[in-house]
Amino acid sequence: MIVTAKTVSGVVRLTYRVDGKIVGTARLVSTTIGDIFVNKPQQRKGYGKAILEDMIQRGGRFAIAVSEGGRRLLIGRGFTERQPGYFYLGSR
């Protein structure tokens, strides 16, 4: 997977490509992961997990989930729901 990143005003917007086609995007603000999106035809192929892992490697420790799929993705990786839709990685 090829990743391109663009930073504007402290917000890192990432685009993930496979064979030249965009499979997903994500956003990182400081240590907060947001807006992980995987194109519909590419879903259920592990791209969401790969994007989440990349975001963690970039320092993501907190996350916001706006869908049930996002919630499952975060919980499956070990994030804990702090309050509805807000998650953190690690024990607190």
Pick the CATH number of 2-89 from 3.40.630.30, 3.30.479.30, 3.50.50.60, 3.40.980.10: 3.40.630.30
The CB density around residue 11, as the number of other CB atoms within 10 Å, is: 14
Reported as a single tens digit per residue, the pLDDT across 17-58 is 999 999 999 999 999 999 999 999 999 999 999 999 999 999
* Residue found under tokens 């996350």: 63
All residues at 6 or more sequence positions from 26 whose CB lies less than 8 Å from its CB, including other chains = 13, 14, 16, 33, 34, 35, 36, 37, 51, 54, 55
With pLDDT > 90 as the criterion, what percentage of the chain qualifies? 96
Domain ranges of the chain: 2-89
